[in-house]
Chains A and B, each alone.
Chain A
């Protein structure tokens, strides 16, 4: 397969995943930001959303005021935000178009349809309710795209590269939430904030669509260290770091086997998975949640670069 084709497939999946994550972040933030301070609203929720999206620097070059309107405008559709939802879907479609014959008709129609639809709406003109519907629609585009890939693609390198793109982006997104919110997950906050922090934790879980899953897995009220456990170390949770790496390692192995050659990406991914595998959540807190996450994000970026160097150029 052409390196450019693999590169396009990888980034199609990454950008679709990123668009969905942004939609979830805005959705979850809009919820908590409306809460009275007594229920955990800190007044800095929209700033957190910007940090989680990795968009703060760009935002402050354009806006001074951080509020729902400015942040959603910037994250949804601002032309100067290269990672806005609109841009993510545009770039995903452009990449897909360049490799039109490497993806299936269903995948293409999902992205092309989304792109056509996006040209009809002006997200910055949407009211609250319409915005929520719009965010649901974005999530649906991602789900349909993923489902189409799962149901229609041949299981060969083309499929594996889309999965790698999606999982590396997903791991990055989950880690970013933890990085921005780590302070509310530290064990001592239980004494300080008590149940009032419930809404903070719930926001994190909503951001990765895991609020219901949490209850099924732990069958108890929301505890910050269990939230961290779910998002980092729980294999049942499809967006956890360890699940993402299970998938990454599996597909890298398939590529290695098909091509008869392994390299730097395989070593990095396996090391990260091994580390997660031999860790319990107590270790994480011992080491420092923040340090742990910072390290993970850096390793994940290193893997992305190694995949690019090894396969995509």
Chain B
């Protein structure tokens, strides 16, 4: 399977977006590239000092490798992605409003009721409750892969607490310092207004009767959480307090933070804590990270949680396979961004097809994540395939299957020089009460190992700056 290369296409003709960059790469002496790479590392160490606490054993793991060759998208490519992202996130919000409300999509047969009700991300406590402005997913991270010049697929929706946006911002920062000449020769859409857009979004979703200047906070599980540096980085850029559960309390269904000037009312909580730990009175009673009474205050309409409780039901793998239908039902249009073709093994015909083609498919557990419980047909042994065949027959509802995709590649600076490596893209989509905001680009993750399709940082993945050319 030949992968589409974003610089060289499938042949060896440089695509327009990369013309200048290719030229520069061809001229740049190898020494310069090595030098820039070590400078980038140094810069990230210093950021590490600032945000990830360089030298801490836990957090050195968090210094994710950075590749100095940017990934380039053209304006038309991005415009189409953007349009598709807006449509998709609007549909996600409408879907959540519907399943916690009138459930018309279930009555219309768009999605089976048991998939919703038995979903681990579904929160029955949310049924009948409408969050401020009917927005559930204020911050979404949509994972996108590309297979040819025109085809982008959504691989996964992240509708709970997507992370990684600090890398998007830091990567741009370091690139602008190291390669000012490239920024002079390209017109690259800026991303550094993301914190400002996020703050606008958070303020726009404050409860309707909140003061003109709503108080927003970022709720973190604390400094031992693996994403803590991102939490403190964002709070700092947004100019809002970074609070832990113990900094907040609820009195008469109103949330306050403890400040040196006494209790201060809180209107919007950008929470980076999972649903079950939010409130020991409503969810996991053993949680020490949350705030007792928070859910009651939320249901009284006195505080906005971003994202809402119970959004996990919308980013699950089984529900994902219904997204094209969900989008059509709620927006009246066909999905602009396609799903990866997905076979639901719960359906008889699909199961038969999957069983016949196991050696070519990727089979995933509906509730699995992080690559566990997954069969990659082309790389599997006969025995693994047999094993999966048994499991599929025993519990077809628990699995979906997808064709093995040839993810696009981008030029990447590795030990042997510049070589193609597989990439994906996570743009961040912000939904406010006034509009949807997306900063052009997102976080590009790259599989640094030759031939690898796994971009996760835990498995040797790195990141790249993502450019959207404005002209």
A positions within 8 Å CB-CB of B: 1-6, 97-98, 100-101, 105, 108-109, 112, 115-116, 157, 161, 255, 259, 261, 311-313
Report which of A5, A116, A261 forms a contact with B55, defined as CB distance below 8 A.
A116
A302 CA to B242 CA in the complex, in Å? 30
> In the complex, how many angstroms separate the beta carbon of A110 from the nearest chain B beta carbon?
12
> Known contacts A97-B53, A108-B49, A112-B53: does B232 contact A2 (CB below 8 Å)?
no
B223: interface (CB < 8 Å): yes
Contacts of A4 in B (CB 8 A): 243-244, 246-247, 258
Q: A105-B50, A112-B54 are in contact. List 14 more A-B contacts (CB 8 A).
A: A1-B259, A2-B258, A3-B259, A3-B260, A4-B246, A97-B53, A100-B50, A101-B236, A108-B50, A109-B49, A112-B53, A255-B260, A259-B260, A313-B258
Cβ-defined contact, B50 with A3, below 8 A: no
Give per-residue flags for B384-415: 1 if the beta carbon is below 8 A from chain A beta carbons, else 0. Answer: 00000000000000000000000000000000
A161 CA to B261 CA in the complex, in Å? 13
Indicate the member of B50, B232, B258, B260 with the most A CB atoms within 10 Å: B260
Cβ-defined contact, A101 with B258, below 8 A: no
B269: interface (CB < 8 Å): no
Contacts of B246 in A (CB 8 A): 4
A1 CA to B241 CA in the complex, in Å? 8
A109 CA to B242 CA in the complex, in Å? 21
A259 CA to B259 CA in the complex, in Å? 11
B257: interface (CB < 8 Å): yes
Indicate the member of A112, A116, A313 with the most B CB atoms within 10 Å: A112
Cβ-defined contact, B50 with A157, below 8 A: no
Report which of A101, A105, A116, A157 forms a contact with B260, defined as CB distance below 8 A.
A157
Contacts of A3 in B (CB 8 A): 247, 258-260
Report which of B50, B55, B257, B260 forms a contact with A312, defined as CB distance below 8 A.
B260
Cβ-defined contact, A98 with B223, below 8 A: yes
Contacts of A157 in B (CB 8 A): 260
A68 CA to B182 CA in the complex, in Å? 63
Cβ-defined contact, A2 with B241, below 8 A: yes
> Known contacts A97-B223, A98-B223: does B260 contact A1 (CB below 8 Å)?
yes
Cβ-defined contact, B53 with A2, below 8 A: no
Q: Which residue of A lies closest to B246 (CB)?
A: A4
Cβ-defined contact, A2 with B259, below 8 A: yes
A312 CA to B244 CA in the complex, in Å? 15
How many A-B residue contacts, CB cutoff 8 Å?
52
Contacts of A255 in B (CB 8 A): 260
Cβ-defined contact, B260 with A6, below 8 A: yes
> In the complex, how many angstroms separate the beta carbon of A159 from the nearest chain B beta carbon?
13
Within 8 A of A (CB), among B228-261: 232, 235-236, 241-244, 246-247, 257-261
> In the complex, how many angstroms separate the beta carbon of A249 from the nearest chain B beta carbon?
18
> In the complex, how many angstroms separate the beta carbon of B265 from the nearest chain A beta carbon?
14
Interface size on B, residues (CB 8 A): 22
A3 CA to B264 CA in the complex, in Å? 11
A101 CA to B55 CA in the complex, in Å? 18
Cβ-defined contact, A101 with B247, below 8 A: no
Contacts of B55 in A (CB 8 A): 112, 115-116
Give per-residue flags for B212-240: 1 if the beta carbon is below 8 A from chain A beta carbons, else 0. Answer: 00000000001100000000100110000
Report which of A2, A100, A161, A311 forms a contact with B247, defined as CB distance below 8 A.
A2
A157 CA to B259 CA in the complex, in Å? 12
Q: Which residue of B lies closest to A312 (CB)?
A: B260
Contacts of B247 in A (CB 8 A): 2-4
Q: Is the interface of B mostly helix, strand, loop or mixed?
A: mixed
Cβ-defined contact, B244 with A112, below 8 A: no
Contacts of A312 in B (CB 8 A): 260
Cβ-defined contact, B261 with A101, below 8 A: no
A109 CA to B54 CA in the complex, in Å? 10
Contacts of A109 in B (CB 8 A): 49
Q: What are 28 A-B contacts with C-beta separation under 8 Å? A: A1-B260, A2-B243, A2-B247, A2-B259, A3-B247, A3-B259, A3-B260, A4-B243, A4-B244, A5-B241, A6-B260, A97-B53, A98-B222, A98-B223, A100-B51, A100-B53, A100-B232, A101-B236, A101-B242, A109-B49, A112-B53, A112-B54, A112-B55, A115-B55, A161-B260, A255-B260, A259-B261, A312-B260
Cβ-defined contact, A101 with B259, below 8 A: no
A313 CA to B262 CA in the complex, in Å? 9
Contacts of A112 in B (CB 8 A): 49, 53-55
Contacts of B236 in A (CB 8 A): 101
Cβ-defined contact, A261 with B261, below 8 A: yes
Contacts of B257 in A (CB 8 A): 2
> In the complex, how many angstroms separate the beta carbon of A96 from the nearest chain B beta carbon?
10
Q: Which residue of B lies closest to A160 (CB)?
A: B260
Report which of B51, B223, B260 forms a contact with A311, defined as CB distance below 8 A.
B260
Within 8 A of A (CB), among B45-67: 49-51, 53-55
A3 CA to B49 CA in the complex, in Å? 25
Contacts of A97 in B (CB 8 A): 53, 223
A79 CA to B138 CA in the complex, in Å? 47
Q: Which residue of B lies closest to A93 (CB)?
A: B53
A304 CA to B438 CA in the complex, in Å? 49
> In the complex, how many angstroms separate the beta carbon of A252 from the nearest chain B beta carbon?
12
> In the complex, how many angstroms separate the beta carbon of B289 from the nearest chain A beta carbon?
14
> In the complex, how many angstroms separate the beta carbon of A273 from the nearest chain B beta carbon?
22
| A-B residue pairs, 5 tightest by C-beta | A3-B258, A101-B236, A311-B260, A6-B260, A259-B261
> In the complex, how many angstroms separate the beta carbon of A265 from the nearest chain B beta carbon?
11
> In the complex, how many angstroms separate the beta carbon of A149 from the nearest chain B beta carbon?
17
Q: Which residue of A lies closest to B264 (CB)?
A: A2
Q: Which residue of A lies closest to B235 (CB)?
A: A101
Q: Which residue of A lies closest to B54 (CB)?
A: A112
Cβ-defined contact, A101 with B232, below 8 A: yes
Contacts of A313 in B (CB 8 A): 258
Contacts of B223 in A (CB 8 A): 97-98
Contacts of A100 in B (CB 8 A): 50-51, 53, 232
A255 CA to B260 CA in the complex, in Å? 9
Contacts of B222 in A (CB 8 A): 98
Within 8 A of A (CB), among B162-180: none
A161 CA to B260 CA in the complex, in Å? 10
> In the complex, how many angstroms separate the beta carbon of A313 from the nearest chain B beta carbon?
7
Within 8 A of A (CB), among B33-90: 49-51, 53-55
> In the complex, how many angstroms separate the beta carbon of A12 from the nearest chain B beta carbon?
14
> In the complex, how many angstroms separate the beta carbon of A62 from the nearest chain B beta carbon?
28
Contacts of B241 in A (CB 8 A): 2, 5
A1 CA to B239 CA in the complex, in Å? 12
Give per-residue flags for B141-169: 1 if the beta carbon is below 8 A from chain A beta carbons, else 0. Answer: 00000000000000000000000000000
> In the complex, how many angstroms separate the beta carbon of A201 from the nearest chain B beta carbon?
41
> In the complex, how many angstroms separate the beta carbon of B438 from the nearest chain A beta carbon?
26
Indicate the member of B55, B236, B258 with the most A CB atoms within 10 Å: B258
A195 CA to B109 CA in the complex, in Å? 100
Indicate the member of B51, B236, B261 with the most A CB atoms within 10 Å: B261
Q: Which residue of A lies closest to B217 (CB)?
A: A2
Contacts of B259 in A (CB 8 A): 1-3
